[in-house]
Amino acid sequence: MTDLDKIFKAIENLQSGSSYKLTTHQNNEQLVDEELFNNIEWNSTNNLTWTKVKAEMDKLWNLAIVILKNKSVIVENEKCFVSCILFYPNNI
């Protein structure tokens, strides 16, 4: 999961249904920082701050819950599972 994936997911987690246009840095398309966040063009109400979004992005790596055949398994700091959990929860 890239930092761009994480910012999209963090915004959705914190403010579901948001509508916005995010333009990446010209010199580094993968860089996600406060400057990028502050330049988001919001089409809907925005009650978010960079601090809140960054904290949510960080949480995406810190704890992942894997559901496998009706069993919950807590996996800490396992980045390899996060993409599957966040975007494909029914496929695990």
Residue 61's pLDDT band (cuts 50, 70, 90)? low
pLDDT in the model for residue 80: 47
Q: How are beta strands 20-21 and 63-68 bridged, if at all?
A: unpaired
Residue 92's pLDDT band (cuts 50, 70, 90)? very low
Whole-number average pLDDT of the chain: 78
**How far is 24 from 26, CA to CA, in rounded Å?**
6
| Alpha-carbon distance values, 68 to 54, 58, 64, 84, 89 (Å) | 29, 24, 13, 12, 10
Q: For the chain, give every domain's residue range.
A: 3-91
Tens-place pLDDT, residues 17-58: 999 999 999 899 889 999 999 999 999 999 999 999 999 998
Dihedral sign from CA coordinates of 17, 25, 81, 78: negative
Nearest CA to 65 out of 47, 37, 92, 46 is that of: 92
